[in-house]
Structure 1
């Protein structure tokens, strides 16, 4: 049975105490034709897992999560995170370090909770799954610079972190304009293989119809949804093209099959190991 539904989760990594209101998690689901079936936001792991249970109710879904799902290193940086910098550093893409002492491991808790409900973690080393409810880890920045369809041939878009060349007073306006350019490029995925049809759902369509806000909280709200949609499209790309378009960072892990801490990342030829 082929995977019918591709899900993106831009997970809030922190899972603070009972007094802290969880940050928003962006969520999105698309079908094989690129139609956005569901998208929006959740708060907290319980709400996110409930959303996943509803969205993957047909039993055939591949979820790509932007958060560390398997963390087996006591200290330092996971090899897959180190490889992000090695393969994509020229495009100004790197990854935060995660280990078992890290305070923000909501992804590990999400994986464990989903596994208890029947989901399967897959590290990608055996190629794309062909059915069931499966989750893997991804990183949207590698999609932005690794998928040629988006056109970021030289460096990542500056829709998140302020470059040193941009004065602080100008940053919010510059960031909003850059986000609008990113959304325009994502709209071009309507004719890609696989496609992504932003206009097919009222929530994602607002990305096209409304300019990006400058106020910090409103902007982060939009950014979380954008990253969730990028995760969902990356899952569809992996399912459709497998290793021909993507690489598995951390594939050399000695972990048992299916259990390695990996990141599945779209890749141009020059971003692969040994690439020029």
Structure 2
């Protein structure tokens, strides 16, 4: 049957307290033709779960979440996070550390809620799923530098983290300009295999039609949607090409198949284990 719908969730990692307004989570869903079925933002896990329930295609959905879904290490950094730096560090990509003492673990709760709702967590070690309601962990930065279609073959785009060469005073303007250049590259995925058609939905089309804002809150709003769309496309790429185009970071963990703490990441040959340095 195959997977019919691909979902990306740029999940806010921290859970707001009782007096704190939930932070936005970016969400996006595409089909196998790259058409954006729905995209936008949710607030809090309950609203995110509701959106997933109405957007998923029963028995044929793969969701990639940008947040730690399995955190089984008491301290330090997860193996998959270390491997991000080892495989993608040359492109200035690394990952934050997560462990069981970390306060920002909304992804763990989301995975538990999804499993209660009938979804299956998949660590990717057995290849892409062919059906079911499946959730895995992704990381947009690895998609940007690991996908040749986006042409970041030297280093990651500066749409999120300020590089040392850019002054604080210049940063907002530089960030917005670089974000627009990145969106232009994402528009080129319309002819990729699999495709992503940003212009196919009114909300994602605004990424093409409007310049990226400089105000921090407005920029973060846009960034969350971009990362959700990248996660959705990564899910489609994994489903279409599997280990020929992607690698499973943290795959050597000695735990039962399907339950390891992993990140499924697009990769050029030189970024894969044993690739040319």
Query: What TM-score results when the alignment is normalised by the length of structure 1?
Result: 0.99
Q: How far off is 1:167 after superposition?
A: 1.1
* Equivalent residue, structure 2, for 1:124: 124
d(CA) in 1 for partners of 2:133 and 2:99?
Answer: 26
Q: Map 1:62-211 onto structure 2 (within 5 A).
A: 62-211=62-211
What whole-Å deviation, never above 9, does each CA across 1:145-194 have from its counterpart, x for those lacking one? 00000000000000001111111111100000000000000000000000
Shift of 1:58: 3.1
Aligned to 2:267: 267
1:25 correspondence with 2:7: no
Alignment correspondent of 1:250? 250
SS in 2 for 1:256: coil
Q: Would you identify which runs of 4 or more consecutive aligned residues in structure 1 move more than 3 Å?
A: none
Is the CA contact (8 Å cut-off) linking 2:16 and 2:23 kept in structure 1? no
Query: What is the CA-CA distance between 1:57 and the residue it aligns to?
Result: 4.2
Partner of 1:169: helix, strand, or coil? Answer: helix
Equivalent residues in 2 for 1:56-67 (5 A)?
Answer: 56-67=56-67
Which blocks of at least 5 consecutive residues in structure 1 are unaligned? none
Q: Contact 1:33–1:194 (CA<8 Å) still a contact in 2?
A: yes
**Is the Cα contact below 8 Å between 1:14 and 1:22 reproduced in 2?**
no
Cα RMSD between the aligned structures?
0.6
Any idea what SS the aligned residue of 2:50 has? helix
